[in-house]
Amino acid sequence: MANLDASLREQVRVLGEGLGRTMSAARGEEFLALVESIRTLSKQVHQGEATSQSLSQMLNDLDDEMLLPVARAFTQFLNLANAAEQHYRARERVVEDYRAGEQPGLTLLLDKLKAEGLAADVIYKSLVEQRVELVFTAHPTEISRRTLIQKYDLLDDCLTDYEACPSDKSRQDVVQRLEQLIAQAWHTDEIRSQRPTPVDEAKWGFAVIENSLWEAVPAYYRQLDEQLVSLTGKTLPLDAAPIRFASWMGGDRDGNPRVTSRVTQEVLWLSRWMAADLYHRDIVRLRAELSMHEASDALVERVGPVREPYRVLLGQVRERLRATLDWLKAQLDGKPYDDERILFEVEGLREPLVLCYESLCDSGMQVIADGLLLDLLRRLATFGMNLLRLDVRQEAPRHEQALAEATQYLGLGDYAQWDEQRRVDFLLHELTNPRPLLPERWPCSDETREVLDTCRVVARERADALGAYVISMAAQPSDVLAVALLLKTSGLERSMRIAPLFETLDDLERAPKVIDGLLSLPWYQEYTSGRQEVMIGYSDSAKDAGQLAASWAQYRAQEAVTHVCAEHKVHLTLFHGRGGTVGRGGGPTQAAILAQPPGSVQGRLKVTEQGEMIRFKFGLPALAERALEVYTCAVLEATLAPPPAPKANWRELMDKIARDAVEGYRALVRDNTDFVRYFRQLTPEQELAKLPLGSRPAKRRASGGIESLRAIPWIFAWTQVRLMLPAWLGSDLALERAQSRGEGDALREMIDAWPFFASNMNMLEMVLAKTDLSIVKEYETLLVEAELQPLGELLRSRQEALVERLLALRKQSQLLEQVPLTQQAISVRNPYIIPLHQLQSELLARVRACEQNQVCSANQDLLERALMVTMAGIAAGLRNTG
């Protein structure tokens, strides 16, 4: 760890000492000594100087009452280490970890593009027209409570003050404040007492904007403008917004019965209220600043010959925002309210601000115009009047059920039994029929009523408040037309983006045919106005076929869909449903975008940001600013200087690798009769359901096996025991067979010259570095029955063989040689994670014994709470969960 930044090491030390004093004050010196002895022994185990059995014995000897505080001690330290690392990353502008020589930056990219002969105007036009949409989702992978996140954010401010302290006295004051915050965190429950509602999740998303992005967005655009002025002499237009934000929080109803039409409507109103409130605060500040009297003729004509024309106009804007806030409050309270001053359109706010901006510039005060006023205009271009555009997601079978009930009610037969052609003919006939399909109220099931009520919310809402209607399990053109008809039936008179989501291997292979079928329909071509959004699912395809095979299927589907849309002269936006972990499409943003098929980006990208990754990328303004730069750079490079298309022999080899990977993955996960039992005995998958992370159930169906389990808990469970199986299983067999065929040199060539394959191998290396087979073995010994343990031995041997092959392929002596920050982050946390794994396995054994009435403890609730704390601590230590 000699390379670990000295200031980061110092801050971890200060926070650790503060936690030690807090624990001593709360539980006494004897407890602190116990924790320190466990930490010391764990460090010796990590360094090979002691056996894990000695640590296990020390923890097993603890009374039930001691398990929870010990688990909390190590979890708290990992959270504090994360806070220090987050501060370091924000200061050094390192939002993600890259391999040596890969760190992206706008200045470097612009120099590279110019060197490749691209004209400045071409670069400028591409940036102005760029449309990146980042979609915040409420997937339950943010394990930290919001109240604790807020305390960690305050810690960040203190660490900034600590670095800037001019004297020992001032540093002492900062340390005292740090210890206050550490004590507050220690005396706050880590685990929520109940699951958050969908509205709670949406409010968490709003808080990320209020606390970080509201500051980061204009700061980033100031930086971008500086680069553009240097390059072209021009800044971005005032209404340009290369990056915008959307949300699934309150709109994603796929398998989540708690997201109802009422919830969606409430979230839409709350989002507008939050936007109006933030703009109101900005206008109050801006009005205080713009006290000058010189103004353009246009502004004087607008407000009259007054002493302070800017303040007069901004005062009018302030009152309109107040009226808007009052109206939205009334909507939320279910009360009537009317006021002609309500701001509905973004132009109602933009027009007076632009008038002020132009007046200041015309009057020789551009330096003033380019301050708070320009920041406000940049925010308005980015967030609009709604803060976050809300996507709506529902699964295709729910739409089929609604139409089946409708056709039966109308005496037309059963839509669910019709073939695809009959469905398409019926849907197109009704879509072009001026009369409504159904009366406003008709007898139907509660499920269908909810689908129609959601469509009515969409129909009533303003277009700029909404993003796309995403269809899970989309399999045919009729699935998209069905949504269009249900929206029309509910009163929607405009077109809406409808995005089919292709998830499983079969779905991905079918995607180009589905899109071609849709775009071949003249009615649908006109409906789309020449633009189509297609969502690619990463989570379920990886759960279905394994990471490597799923990644290749996603690549080929994107290639094919891009080709289909080009043939139909339709502009495609690919929507990537990526998660934070490798098993769900995670990885460094730049590498992921540049790994896309050439021609598939074209200045447009939509991608999910999920769970804890929202906090890690956007939780602090400096981190958010850097994340925005990474997205802009990657999309610009993928558009103007895309990677070359893969060679024919690479594609052939990749086809073979993917087939082998699927075989290796499914032979175990699907065909091995012992696998499900082993998985459920080894991991805390069953216990995970008790952890109140998010509003959505862990399973799509209450009953069912692996196939019904959502991708997030599937990956979360394997991560907890450090086997990381979903991210590497199948790759082992694929690389073994490729190398046995003598294709090692071809694989190295693909790593060196094909960003797609390089990205997959980089992510594989990272996840293998996070596995710990000795920890897996300890879980297995304690929790898995003897007849299943040979399966565990097989898995460990397959993982070990994969590590050896990957190192040989890369010609490295150890994993992550080229990514030292990640390597160090894993190493420095391990002594604190190891005791949590030991505690978790012991707690699983005690809780399960109690549930089976073998040895029932009087402290069962305490044990279960301690178990949840270990889950939180391990997740914090590994920095990604699902």
Q: Answer yes or no: do 184 and 280 share one domain.
A: no
- Rounded Cα–Cα distance for residues 12 and 77 (Å): 9
Does residue 114 sit within a domain? no
| Residue reference for tokens 């929607």 | 492
Residue 362 DSSP class: H
Does residue 879 sit within a domain? yes
Q: Answer yes or no: do 76 and 174 share one domain.
A: yes
The pair of structure tokens assigned to 627 is 């994340």
- Position 685, amino acid: E
CB 589 within 8 A of CB 631: yes
Last residue of a domain, one of 336, 354, 381: 381
Q: Answer yes or no: do 839 and 814 share one domain.
A: no
Does residue 440 sit within a domain? yes
Does residue 123 sit within a domain? no
How many Cα neighbours within 13 Å face the side chain of 808?
12
Q: Answer yes or no: do 268 and 151 share one domain.
A: no
Report the number of distinct structural domains present in the chain: 4
Does residue 597 sit within a domain? no
Q: Residue 627, Cα to own-chain centre: how many angstroms?
A: 13
CA angle 233, 234, 238 (to 5 degrees): 165
- Rounded Cα–Cα distance for residues 317 and 340 (Å): 13
Q: Answer yes or no: do 838 and 814 share one domain.
A: no
Does residue 871 sit within a domain? yes
Q: Of 46, 543, 606, 770, which one is the catalytic site residue?
A: 543
CA torsion angle 574 577 581 585 (round to 10)? -40
Is 594 exposed, middle or buried, given 0-12, 13-18 or 19+ CB atoms closer than 10 A?
buried
Give the range of the structural domain holding residue 856, as residue numbers without chain letter: 1-92+146-188+825-882
Q: Answer yes or no: do 366 and 442 share one domain.
A: no
CA angle 70, 73, 78 (to 5 degrees): 130
Does residue 211 sit within a domain? no
Q: Is 689 helix (H, G, I), strand (E, B) or coil?
A: coil
Neighbouring residues of 579: CB distance < 8 A, sequence distance ≥ 6:
139, 141, 538, 539, 585, 586, 608, 610, 611, 613, 711, 712, 715, 882
Q: Of 139, 151, 770, 837, which one is the catalytic site residue?
A: 139
What is the sign, positive or negative, of the torsion defined by CA atoms of 315, 317, 321, 322? positive
The pairing of beta strand 497-502 with beta strand 571-577: unpaired
- Rounded Cα–Cα distance for residues 573 and 391 (Å): 15
Neighbouring residues of 28: CB distance < 8 A, sequence distance ≥ 6:
none
Distances (CA, A) of 774 to 99, 424, 777, 834, 838: 27, 56, 5, 10, 11
- Rounded Cα–Cα distance for residues 29 and 9 (Å): 25
Maximum separation of any 2 CA atoms in the chain, in Å: 90
Q: Answer yes or no: do 687 and 766 share one domain.
A: yes
pLDDT of residue 20: 96
Gyration radius of the chain's alpha carbons: 28
| Residue reference for tokens 């089976």 | 852
| Residue reference for tokens 């589905």 | 514
CATH code, 315: 1.20.1440.90
Nearest Cα residue to 529 out of 485, 496, 575, 563: 496
CB 579 within 8 A of CB 623: no
CB 254 within 8 A of CB 472: yes
Distances (CA, A) of 33 to 24, 57, 507: 9, 17, 56
- Position 672, amino acid: N
pLDDT of residue 1: 36
- DSSP of 259-285: --HHHHHHHHHHHHHHHHHHHHHHHHH
Could you give phi then psi for residue 436, rounded to 5 degrees?
-70, 150
Q: Answer yes or no: do 561 and 421 share one domain.
A: yes
- Rounded Cα–Cα distance for residues 177 and 171 (Å): 10
Neighbours of 275 (CB within 10 A): 27
Q: Answer yes or no: do 326 and 275 share one domain.
A: yes
Q: Answer yes or no: do 786 and 839 share one domain.
A: no
Last residue of a domain, one of 542, 577, 612: 577
Q: Answer yes or no: do 340 and 421 share one domain.
A: no
CB 469 within 8 A of CB 498: yes
Nearest Cα residue to 470 out of 502, 495, 446, 438: 502
Residue 235 DSSP class: P
Last residue of a domain, one of 523, 558, 577: 577
Taking the chain (882 residues) in runs of 10, the rounded mean pLDDT of each run is 69 93 96 94 89 89 90 93 88 71 79 94 96 84 67 89 89 93 91 82 91 96 95 95 96 90 98 98 98 97 96 98 97 93 95 98 97 98 97 97 98 98 98 92 95 97 96 96 98 96 94 98 96 92 90 96 97 86 61 91 93 83 93 95 94 98 95 94 88 57 56 85 95 97 96 94 93 95 96 97 96 90 80 92 90 69 90 83 44
What is the sign, positive or negative, of the torsion defined by CA atoms of 743, 748, 753, 759? positive
Is 184 exposed, middle or buried, given 0-12, 13-18 or 19+ CB atoms closer than 10 A?
middle
CB 486 within 8 A of CB 498: no
Residue 543 annotated in active site = yes
In the chain, the N- to C-terminal Cα span, in Å, equals: 28
The pair of structure tokens assigned to 225 is 């403008």
Q: Answer yes or no: do 831 and 812 share one domain.
A: no
Helices marked H in 683-723: 685-688, 711-720
CB 252 within 8 A of CB 395: no
What is the sign, positive or negative, of the torsion defined by CA atoms of 120, 122, 128, 133? negative
Does residue 242 sit within a domain? no
- Rounded Cα–Cα distance for residues 385 and 346 (Å): 6
- Rounded Cα–Cα distance for residues 767 and 723 (Å): 9
The pair of structure tokens assigned to 237 is 């237009």
Nearest Cα residue to 619 out of 78, 179, 87: 87
- DSSP of 733-780: HHHHHHHHTT-HHHHHHHHHH-HHHHHHHHHHHHHHHH--HHHHHHHH
Neighbours of 187 (CB within 10 A): 9
Q: Residue 57, Cα to own-chain centre: how many angstroms?
A: 39
- Rounded Cα–Cα distance for residues 780 and 774 (Å): 10
Distances (CA, A) of 51 to 40, 42, 772: 12, 9, 15
- DSSP of 370-392: IIIIHHHHHHHHHHTTTSSEEEE
Neighbouring residues of 275: CB distance < 8 A, sequence distance ≥ 6:
383, 384, 385, 386, 387
